[in-house]
Structure 1
Amino acid sequence: MNQDLKRRPNEASPNIKKNKKKRRIEKTLAPKIESLIPESKLYTQLHEFEKKMDATMMRKRLDIQEALSKPIKTKKTLRIFISNTTSGQTDNNVDINDINLENTSTPSWILKIEGKLLDNSPGKKSNQIDKKFSSFVKRVIVELDRDQTLYPEGNIIEWNKKPGTPDIDGFEIKRKGDTDVNARILIEMDYAPQKFKLSEDLSKLLDIKLNTKPNVVMALWQYIKYHKLQDSDDKRLINNDEELKKIFRVNQMTFPQMPELINYHLLPPDPIVIEYKIRMNERQPEEAEYAYDIEVEVDDVVRNRISSVISVFQENHKEYTEIDEKISKIIQAVNNCKLKRDFMMSFVNDPVTFINQWVASQARDYEVILDDTHINKEESRHSEFFKKPWIKEAIFHYLNAKTHQKYNELVNHR
């Protein structure tokens, strides 16, 4: 028992610290201070306004966080440029006597695949946005149509995106050669979130060619609701019509089975195929580099601005907390001064009653410290002590105890 009693203050100490920490952020002035300090009313009004502003900011912040949790995409144009340059090429019409063997260089060419993201916002010119070409691309394959025996360095060039590599604006492929080459360029796009190509039958049914899996499931659910294919007795079951039977090859299916059945009809997206001829002769003005526009989805600019605002708020949150702590310390000091003033004013107004109450209070505290549960002698000296409501119950228990004691004495004497 003694060990338990000793342990209680230690067990309660963390809670005491927590309560102290909560009091530090208290910024409310004690009542009746306005009568002493009229200017404190301005602080109370400001504090009420601050609480309303904090509530509004918290509600807006939750709305912003909810909006950021949902993907907000806008459609932009990715412009891909295909061109090539040559070096060391010889003219077929040159005189053989004019050839200098010492200054000849190996003929070669460079194929360039570059991309820029354009802004198609209405009322604005197409300006470049800070997002690299390779951030939209997952893989690039270039197939060259030339004799493998003459050019052993390979006719297939492949680039794959690796995690952690910095984004770039384009690719260059340098090879030796002095004849025109047909090139087939395959570009696999990197969709975020991942998109899939639908099978022919499912694509025709939902009128969707390329989309994310959640959107495909949602479109299928809309089809089921529109045609009222849910079972009338068990809403979890779906009675497939002829079109769904042909696609999924089952008469009935449940909602948990839908994503699994759809997986068999989700295929990798087709790559973008560009046919290009690498020419060795000088280009004519009408034979300039080719440009191809592709529609891509990027994060909304407003979303990025909102994220920057939240990051600034988080950076300043520490400063706000320190200011609140300073204000709470000042308010705590004002409240303490108010308690001291009330203590002194009660002594000034009625010194005798104040001293009697103070002595009685100190006596009670002294008994608590010494673990003494006897009746306070100082209080028992006053007549009001015997008018307390618990006196009658105490007398009843006292007389009852005396009666039992007398009864036991009589029984023992017999």
Structure 2
Amino acid sequence: MAGPMMSTGPHHQVPLTQAQMAQQQQAAAMQVEMAKRRSRKPTDKNLPDNIDECTIGEMGPKYRELRDFERRLDATMTRKRLDIVDSVNRSVKRWKTLRIWVSNTTEDQQWQNNDLNVPAFDFSSNLEPTYRIKIEGRLLDDDDDDLDKEDAVDEADEDKMDEDGANAKSKASKAPKYRLSHFFKALTVDFPANRKGIDQSMEWKKPERTGPSTNLPASADFDELIFKRSGDENMHIVINLTRHEDPERYAVEPALADIVDKTEATRQEIVMAVWDYIKFMGLQEDEEKRNFRCDDLLKKAFNIETGSIPLLYNYITPQLKPLPAVKLPYTIRVDEEFHKDAKPTVYDIRVAVDDPLKEKMVTFLNNPGYASMLKEVASLDDQLATIVQAIHVSKSKHAFLSSLSEDPATFVKDWLSSQKRDLDIIMGESIRGSGEYATTGDEWRMGGKDSVWNTINAKESVTMMLAKQPHAPR
């Protein structure tokens, strides 16, 4: 069954009420009035020509020096602000040291179960020997980078080092810092083949954020990781740490590394490096700047003769590989001799963190006082333009009176003639090609700054004609 038929033509609009029509008319009138005010608003802040001839002192040169200084200051502030915006958008990183301690403890080993209860005549034990592996990491401060290795510290200094470590941890707890799990998205431990066929491998993956919350779950925010396994023999393991970076860095293939001069970089850094190489070597096409020619290095990297700059991302993608995992070899010790004076194995890894100045730069860009300062500067500019306009008027009056004082009769005659001609032009009564003030001379066809069309009278006439409201047709 066919559905109801709907009209495809334009629908009739609901007629407006008298109040709505009056409101629209009032809004339109307000817009016209605001446009008029903006058109009459003075904007010129330059002093009139030859102002130095009719002023006392060095007012003109000093004002022009201030104007020049203002232009240079505005340019410098704008450039610096754009540099800060660029730094924030480029996510500048800073390299720091992440120190990782790897250690293990033992439980129920054979040498730990020698204290049997002889009167009980129970010489057997059902406890299985185990060990616990602890992986702990801490981001070193700038003043901690020169710490001595723990295996080089004398036994007499151990108490002092423990006290310093406690103070450092308490200091770190007061100031929020990056935790171990922040720098890695996965952690695996490779064990040697077990003779009993038991899989002892361990794997951790960082869970993803769910929902709008920015807080990570406890399983993804920690400074140390501890896990337990069974065993009574020393063995070699390898701890694999997969980096978590934003933006992600990649390992660059050798052919592309010869161009960008980097073995590890982000995708954006590689694109910018290739673009800089193309500009430096002058490989852009003369007619089409978006295209470029490939020299020997680019041919070797991209395997093309010519390329397009918008497709650089596609060219470099096959040359990027994920960074290999950070491998930390460690030997699990369960013997009594080692645990009499057990010491952890220490590794230092370079990690990238956000520049500490980034937060301050973001605060600077989002400062609410900046908008109010711009409003204040705009208000001062308006006042300055009004004062300069008054100076222009005073300069015109001065020129008028000076010319009148030199030859009053000739000046009045020329002035009346000029006023009559301007009035005829404004009223539309001037006849082209006839009359005393006919507009047939070369002066009316000549343009440029010295023509009659660039005079104050012509500008005022055009302004009056544009501001004149047209009469509604009857």
Indicate whether the TM-score tops 0.5.
yes
Q: Is contact 2:97–2:145 with CA below 8 Å preserved after alignment?
A: no
Q: 1:150 to 1:6 in 2, by over 3 A?
A: closer
Match of 2:224? 170
Q: 1:254 to 1:155 in 2, by over 3 A?
A: same
Query: Could you say what secondary structure the match of 1:162 adopts?
Result: coil
Query: Could you say what secondary structure the match of 1:231 adopts?
Result: coil
Match of 1:298? 353
Match of 2:136? 114
Match of 1:76? 96
Structure 1 residue 61 displacement after superposition: 9.0
Query: Could you say what secondary structure the match of 1:261 adopts?
Result: helix
Q: 1:150 to 1:223 in 2, by over 3 A?
A: same
2-structure distance, mates of 1:236, 1:63: 26
Q: How many aligned residue pairs are there?
A: 279
Counterparts in 2 of 1:83-162, with a 5 A limit? Answer: 83-91=103-111, 100-101=122-123, 105-120=127-142, 128=172, 130-147=177-194, 149-151=196-198, 154-162=199-207
Q: 1:121 to 1:232 in 2, by over 3 A?
A: farther
Q: 1:205 to 1:287 in 2, by over 3 A?
A: farther
Q: What TM-score do the two structures reach when normalised by structure 1?
A: 0.57
Output the amino acid matched with 1:82: V
Matched, 1:221 2:275: yes
2-structure distance, mates of 1:239, 1:69: 30
Q: 1:12 to 1:276 in 2, by over 3 A?
A: farther
Q: Is contact 1:195–1:210 with CA below 8 Å preserved after alignment?
A: yes
Gaps of 5+ in 2: 1-14, 32-73, 148-164, 210-215, 373-474
Output the amino acid matched with 2:207: K
Output the amino acid matched with 2:185: K
Please point out which of 297, 315, 328 is paired with 1:243: 297
What is the CA deviation profile of residues 318-368 of structure 1, one whole-angstrom value per residue up to 9, with x for unaligned ones?
A: xx9xxxxxxxxxxxxxxxxxxxxxxxxxxxxxxxxxxxxxxxxxxxxxxxx
Q: 1:124 to 1:108 in 2, by over 3 A?
A: closer
1-structure distance, mates of 2:107, 2:145: 43
Structure 1 residue 245 displacement after superposition: 1.2
C-alpha RMSD of matched pairs (Å): 4.1
Match of 1:365? none
Query: Could you say what secondary structure the match of 1:192 adopts?
Result: coil
Query: Could you say what secondary structure the match of 2:359 adopts?
Result: helix
Q: 1:266 to 1:105 in 2, by over 3 A?
A: same
Query: Could you say what secondary structure the match of 2:177 adopts?
Result: coil
Q: 1:14 to 1:85 in 2, by over 3 A?
A: farther
Counterparts in 2 of 1:2-401, with a 5 A limit? Answer: 5-11=18-24, 68-91=88-111, 100-101=122-123, 105-120=127-142, 128=172, 130-147=177-194, 149-151=196-198, 154-164=199-209, 165-166=216-217, 167-282=221-336, 283=338, 288-305=343-360
Structure 1 residue 105 displacement after superposition: 2.7
Q: Is contact 2:249–2:266 with CA below 8 Å preserved after alignment?
A: yes
Structure 1 residue 274 displacement after superposition: 1.3
Output the amino acid matched with 1:85: T
Q: Is contact 2:128–2:230 with CA below 8 Å preserved after alignment?
A: yes
1-structure distance, mates of 2:25, 2:313: 53
Q: 1:121 to 1:93 in 2, by over 3 A?
A: closer
2-structure distance, mates of 1:107, 1:302: 51
What is the CA deviation profile of residues 31-50 of structure 1, one whole-angstrom value per residue up to 9, with x for unaligned ones?
A: xxxxxxxxxxxxxxxxxxxx
2-structure distance, mates of 1:271, 1:79: 16
Structure 1 residue 170 displacement after superposition: 1.8
Structure 1 residue 8 displacement after superposition: 1.6
Query: Could you say what secondary structure the match of 1:147 adopts?
Result: coil
Q: Is contact 2:189–2:239 with CA below 8 Å preserved after alignment?
A: yes
Structure 1 residue 239 displacement after superposition: 1.2
Q: Is contact 1:82–1:290 with CA below 8 Å preserved after alignment?
A: yes
Structure 1 residue 201 displacement after superposition: 1.8
Structure 1 residue 310 displacement after superposition: 7.9
1-structure distance, mates of 2:208, 2:129: 36
Structure 1 residue 150 displacement after superposition: 4.9
Structure 1 residue 96 displacement after superposition: 9.6
Percent identity between matched residues is: 28
Q: Is contact 1:88–1:104 with CA below 8 Å preserved after alignment?
A: no
2-structure distance, mates of 1:84, 1:196: 33
Query: Could you say what secondary structure the match of 1:91 adopts?
Result: helix
Output the amino acid matched with 1:9: A
Output the amino acid matched with 1:301: P
What is the CA deviation profile of residues 132-171 of structure 1, one whole-angstrom value per residue up to 9, with x for unaligned ones?
A: 10011011010111415353xx232111111233311021
Highest CA radius of gyration, 1 or 2?
Answer: 1
Q: What TM-score do the two structures reach when normalised by structure 2?
A: 0.50
1-structure distance, mates of 2:22, 2:90: 49
Q: 1:190 to 1:148 in 2, by over 3 A?
A: farther
Q: 1:100 to 1:65 in 2, by over 3 A?
A: farther
1-structure distance, mates of 2:245, 2:136: 19
Query: Could you say what secondary structure the match of 2:286 adopts?
Result: coil
2-structure distance, mates of 1:91, 1:239: 73
Query: Could you say what secondary structure the match of 2:279 adopts?
Result: helix
1-structure distance, mates of 2:113, 2:128: 18
Query: Could you say what secondary structure the match of 1:145 adopts?
Result: coil
Gaps of 5+ in 1: 19-55, 321-414
1-structure distance, mates of 2:195, 2:98: 34
2-structure distance, mates of 1:104, 1:62: 71
Structure 1 residue 10 displacement after superposition: 4.2
Q: Is contact 1:148–1:155 with CA below 8 Å preserved after alignment?
A: no
Q: 1:80 to 1:190 in 2, by over 3 A?
A: same
